Structure 1
Amino acid sequence: MSDDRELRLAAKANRERLAVAHREVVIQEEVKNAVDVRQNMARLKELRLAKEAQEARTEISKANQRPAPKPKRFR
Structure 2
Amino acid sequence: MSADDNKSTKAERDAAEKAVLDNMARLKALRLAREASMPQAAPKKKVAAKSGRSATGKTSSGKSSASKPAEKSVALAAWLAEQRKGGFRT
1 or 2, which has the higher helix percentage? 1
Bigger RCO of structures 1 and 2 (CA < 8 A, at least 6 apart)? 2
- Long gaps (5+) in structure 2: 48-90
The alpha carbon displacement at 1:69 in A equals 2.0
| Identical positions, percent | 15
Residue 39 (structure 1) aligned with residue 4 (structure 2): no
The alignment yields a C-alpha RMSD, in angstroms, of 2.1
The structure with the largest alpha-carbon Rg is 1
Instruction: Note closer, same or farther for the CA distance 1:66–1:32 as it changes in structure 2 (3 Å cut).
Output: same
Which of 13, 21, 42 matches 1:69? 42
- Long gaps (5+) in structure 1: 1-27
TM-score w.r.t. the length of structure 1 is 0.55
Give the total of aligned pairs.
47
TM-score w.r.t. the length of structure 2 is 0.47
